[in-house]
Structure 1
Amino acid sequence: MERRTFLRASAVGAGAVAFSGSLWQNAALAAPAQNAPSPYGPLRTADANGILLPAGFTSQIVARSGQTVPGTSYTWHGAPDGGACFADGSGWIYVSNAELDGAAGGASAIRFTSGGAVTSAFRILSGTARNCAGGATPWNTWLSCEETDTGRVWETYPFGGTAVARPAMGRFTHEAAAADPVRRVFYLTEDKSDGCFYRFVPSTWGDLSSGTLQVLRAGTATSGSFTWANVPDPDGSPTATRQQVSGAKRFNGGEGCYNADDTVWFTTKGDNRAWRVNLADSTYELAYDDNLVNPGPAPLTGVDNITGAGSGDLYVAEDGGNMEICMITPDDKISVFLRINGQGSSEITGPAFNPAGDRLYFSSQRGTSGSSSGGITYCVTGPFRN
Structure 2
Amino acid sequence: MERRNFLRGAVFGTSAAAFGGTLMHGAAYAAPAQNGAGPYGGLLAADANGIMLPSGFTSRVIARSGQTVPGTSYTWHSAPDGGACFADGTGWIYVSNSEISSTGGASAVRFSSSGTVTGAYRILSNTNRNCAGGATPWNTWLSCEEVSRGYVYETDPWGVKPAVRRDAMGRFNHEAAAADPVRKVIYLTEDESDGCFYRFVPTTWGDLSSGTLQVLKAGTGTSGPFTWVNVPDPDGSPTSTRDQVSGAKIFNGGEGCHYANDTVWFTTKGDNRVWQLDLLNSTYELAYDDSLVTNGTAPLTGVDNVTGSSSGDLFVAEDGGTMEICVITPDDIIAPFLRITGQSSSEICGPAFSPDGKRLYFSSQRGTSGSSSGGITYEVTGPFRTTA
Tell me which interval the TM-score lies in, with the shorter structure as reference length: over 0.9
Q: 5 Å matches for 1:1-386?
A: 17=12, 19=18, 21-22=20-21, 24-26=22-24, 29-103=29-103, 105-159=104-158, 160-386=160-386
Partners of 2:241 and 2:325 in 1: CA distance: 32
Partner deviation per Cα, 1:211-237 (whole Å, 9 max, x = no partner): 000000001000000000000000001
Counterpart contact for 2:19–2:313, Cα < 8 Å:
no
Corresponding letter in the other structure for 1:60: R
Partners of 1:195 and 1:121 in 2: CA distance: 35
Partners of 1:88 and 1:242 in 2: CA distance: 38
Counterpart contact for 1:72–1:121, Cα < 8 Å:
yes
Counterpart contact for 1:255–1:266, Cα < 8 Å:
yes
Partners of 1:261 and 1:170 in 2: CA distance: 26
TM-score normalised over the length of structure 2? 0.94
Residue 4 of structure 2 corresponds to none
Partner deviation per Cα, 1:24-66 (whole Å, 9 max, x = no partner): 5459933100000111011100000000000000000000000
Question: What secondary structure sits across from 2:138 in the alignment?
Answer: coil
Partners of 1:319 and 1:53 in 2: CA distance: 18
1:20, distance to aligned residue in structure 2 (A): 5.2
Partner deviation per Cα, 1:68-118 (whole Å, 9 max, x = no partner): 000000000000000000000000000000000223x10000000011000
Question: What secondary structure sits across from 2:115 in the alignment?
Answer: coil
Partners of 1:109 and 1:246 in 2: CA distance: 41
Partners of 2:294 and 2:90 in 1: CA distance: 45
Corresponding letter in the other structure for 2:58: T
1:19, distance to aligned residue in structure 2 (A): 3.0
1:261, distance to aligned residue in structure 2 (A): 1.2
Partners of 1:244 and 1:306 in 2: CA distance: 28
Corresponding letter in the other structure for 1:220: T
How many residues matched? Answer: 369
Partner deviation per Cα, 1:255-296 (whole Å, 9 max, x = no partner): 000002111000000000000001000000011000000112
Corresponding letter in the other structure for 1:355: P
Partner deviation per Cα, 1:363-384 (whole Å, 9 max, x = no partner): 0000000000000000000000
Counterpart contact for 1:178–1:188, Cα < 8 Å:
yes
Structure 2 unaligned regions, length at least 5: 1-10
Partners of 2:341 and 2:32 in 1: CA distance: 28
Structural RMSD (CA): 1.1
Counterpart contact for 1:27–1:332, Cα < 8 Å:
no
Question: What secondary structure sits across from 2:110 in the alignment?
Answer: strand
Residue 5 of structure 2 corresponds to none
Partners of 1:157 and 1:130 in 2: CA distance: 19
Spell out structure 1 runs of 4+ moving beyond 2 A. 16-22, 24-30
Counterpart contact for 1:25–1:262, Cα < 8 Å:
no
- Structure-2 change in CA distance of 1:236 and 1:293 (3 Å): same
Corresponding letter in the other structure for 1:115: S
Question: What secondary structure sits across from 1:242 in the alignment?
Answer: helix
Structure 1 unaligned regions, length at least 5: 1-15
Question: What secondary structure sits across from 2:242 in the alignment?
Answer: helix
Partner deviation per Cα, 1:174-220 (whole Å, 9 max, x = no partner): 00000000110000000000000000000000000000000000010
Partners of 2:179 and 2:296 in 1: CA distance: 34
Partners of 2:25 and 2:228 in 1: CA distance: 24
Question: What secondary structure sits across from 2:100 in the alignment?
Answer: coil
Question: What secondary structure sits across from 1:226 in the alignment?
Answer: strand
Counterpart contact for 1:358–1:383, Cα < 8 Å:
yes
Question: What secondary structure sits across from 2:120 in the alignment?
Answer: strand
Partner deviation per Cα, 1:112-149 (whole Å, 9 max, x = no partner): 00110000000000100000000000000000000011
Corresponding letter in the other structure for 1:145: C
User: Percent identity between the aligned chains?
Assistant: 75
1:21, distance to aligned residue in structure 2 (A): 3.0
Counterpart contact for 1:135–1:179, Cα < 8 Å:
yes
Partners of 1:146 and 1:27 in 2: CA distance: 37
Counterpart contact for 1:27–1:330, Cα < 8 Å:
no
Partners of 1:213 and 1:351 in 2: CA distance: 27
Partners of 2:18 and 2:33 in 1: CA distance: 17
TM-score normalised over the length of structure 1? 0.94
Corresponding letter in the other structure for 1:251: F
- Structure-2 change in CA distance of 1:26 and 1:384 (3 Å): farther
Corresponding letter in the other structure for 2:213: L
Corresponding letter in the other structure for 1:379: E
